[in-house]
Amino acid sequence: MPTKLEPQTAGEGAGSDDVLMDVRDLEVHFALRGGIVSRFTGGPAGAVRAVDGVTFQLHKGEVLGLVGESGSGKTTLGRALLGLVPATGGSIRYAGRELVGLGERRMRPLRRDLQMAFQDPHASLNPSMDLQTAIGHPLRIHGMAGSDAELREKVTGALERVGLAPVERFLTKFPADLSGGQKQRAVFARATIMDPKLVVADEPASMLDMSVRAKIIELMQGLKRELGLTYVYITHDLATAKFFCDRIAIMYLGRIVELGPTAEIFANPRHPYTRSLLAAVPEPDPRAEVSREVPRGEVPDAAVRPAGCSFHPRCPKAFAVCGWEGRDLRALLEQRWTELTEEAYLAESAQFADLAALDGQVGTVTVPAASGHDGEEVAARLRRIRDEQTDEPLWRGVTDIAASGTHATVVFHAGTDPTLTETGPVEVACHLHDPQYQSQAPGT
């Protein structure tokens, strides 16, 4: 069986005829409710920038993968494409219409074309609706049901298409009577009954057993062939993405950090984040050499995005311009203290006052000394740590460590935020691939 169906020539040069959906600078920000004081004074409460300036084109008939960890914004982006969460900025053009800002009444007819399959099949079917009601429901909502006989015929067709046959056995079943894989088939029957153009599939296989995942992917491929669908496939599973997608967008903290043809992304990953993701996939082959280089830490809070490149605190390749700041120094010290002996830890940590003071400081950062210690001691300690940790990326971003009275000051190099730029056959957002900074980048 072919692994990819009709490879899209639209990948390059994209004539406008091929473009199903054109997404520019899309933003979805969720406002945070501030504390009581800021609510009275109208001060800024901040926002979670779930999708933060995303640009891509979706070509007709392709499978575009949105791949990333939890909190990368991939689900929010998928929902925003269908108007299920309101975009707060940017543009989504579909069939000559602008979807951002479109009211529910005018959006609804377009939803016939734009469908969604959710992650949890157990939660996406109404437990009190039998399958013929559930699958025919979209037709009723859109007033396309016609006579009872017509509706039944369409429902039967949809069930057969997803392999739930003999249909008579399933029409009157309730979700509780079905296995996980069968439920997911029913979800796809409902999503495809109105002959949509685009289906956004959000982790459709991740709640299912390994032995069933292949069947769901097979089903999606079959539906694509039969109905000429375009998919946006949202997943954290690189293995299924590699198999199923024509192009892949790697997302991190609300942004696309790398976008390109699947084969190129896997054969030649350019962004350090993509590389770490690929290295971390557990392979069912004990003889395979597994890289033990796993980036430290986890996806940070999208409400307080790191300065510069969002990935820099975890990046093994980060250098001066990537956006080092006070809280990175705090994380470094805390991590170091878990590795020291008890005695060394106590001696060292006693010199520092509360490290929480480092959070939020950018540029010139003050590191307060604990009472009974002075800034000179702290500065000397920091210099010694810097000399010890020759491979630590953070120190590449430190231009000076000085002391003044009760605190030390650490001066960080100014950071800049990388933008998605064309690099060979892919687009990547990383200073390592920016000719402007290449002379400063660390050797590989």
Partner 1 sequence: MTEPVLAAEDLRVWYGTERGPVRAVDGVSFEVHEGETLGLVGESGCGKSTLGRAILGLLPRGAAMDGSLRFKGTELVGLPRKELEGMRGPELGLVFQEPMTRLNPLMRISEHFEETLKIHEPGLGKKGMKERATEALRHVGIPPSRYDHYPHEFSGGMRQRIMIALTLVLRPAFMVADEPTTALDVLVEAQILRLLGDLRQNFRTAMLLITHNLGIVAEACDRVAVMYAGRIVEIGDAREVFAEPQHPYTRELLASTISLHTTGLHSIPGAPPDLADPPAGCRFHPRCPDAMRVCEQREPVPVRLETGQVTECWLHGPADRIPENGTEPLEREAISVADEA
For partner 1, the binding residues (CB under 8 A) are 1, 3, 69-70, 163-166, 169-170, 179-182, 185, 208-215, 217-218, 236-240, 242-243, 266, 276-288, 290, 292, 294-296, 298-299, 334-335, 337-339, 342, 345, 349, 355
Helix axes 180-192, 210-227, angle to 10 degrees: 20
- Rank residues 95 and 239 by Cβ distance to partner 1 and give the closer one: 239
Least distance between partner 1 and beta carbon 345 (Å):
7
Task: Tell me if residue 155 falls in helix, strand or coil.
Answer: helix
The backbone torsions φ and ψ at residue 98, rounded to the nearest 5 degrees and listed phi first, read: -95, 120
Over the range 87-101, which residues count as b (16 or more CB within 10 Å of their CB) and which as e? bbebebbbeeeebbe
- Rank residues 149 and 267 by Cβ distance to partner 1 and give the closer one: 267
H-assigned helices in 257-341: 262-267, 272-280, 326-339
Least distance between partner 1 and beta carbon 191 (Å):
18
Least distance between partner 1 and beta carbon 283 (Å):
5
H-assigned helices in 296-419: 326-339, 342-349, 375-388, 393-396
- Rank residues 12 and 342 by Cβ distance to partner 1 and give the closer one: 342
Residue length, the chain?
444
Least distance between partner 1 and beta carbon 12 (Å):
25
- Rank residues 56 and 170 by Cβ distance to partner 1 and give the closer one: 170
Least distance between partner 1 and beta carbon 236 (Å):
6
Of 331, 333, 442, 343, nearest to 388 by C-alpha is 333
CB 207 within 8 A of CB 120: yes
- Rank residues 218 and 388 by Cβ distance to partner 1 and give the closer one: 218
- Rank residues 237 and 392 by Cβ distance to partner 1 and give the closer one: 237
Least distance between partner 1 and beta carbon 7 (Å):
15
- Rank residues 138 and 300 by Cβ distance to partner 1 and give the closer one: 300
Q: How far apart are CA 419 and CA 434, in angstroms?
A: 10
Task: Tell me if residue 355 falls in helix, strand or coil.
Answer: helix
* Residue 154, token pair as written in the block: 């369409």
State the DSSP code for 352.
Answer: B
- Rank residues 335 and 404 by Cβ distance to partner 1 and give the closer one: 335
- Rank residues 213 and 327 by Cβ distance to partner 1 and give the closer one: 213
Least distance between partner 1 and beta carbon 415 (Å):
22
Cβ-in-10-Å burial (0-12, 13-18, 19+) of 84 comes to middle
- Rank residues 57 and 262 by Cβ distance to partner 1 and give the closer one: 262
**What is the secondary structure of 385-415 as a DSSP string?**
HHHH-TT-HHHHTEEEEEEETTEEEEEEPPP
Of 8, 31, 1, nearest to 230 by C-alpha is 8
Give me the sheet containing 421-423, strands edge to edge.
Answer: 114-117, 198-202, 230-235, 63-67, 247-252, 255-261, 426-428, 421-423
Q: How far apart are CA 170 and CA 257, in angstroms?
A: 44
Least distance between partner 1 and beta carbon 5 (Å):
13
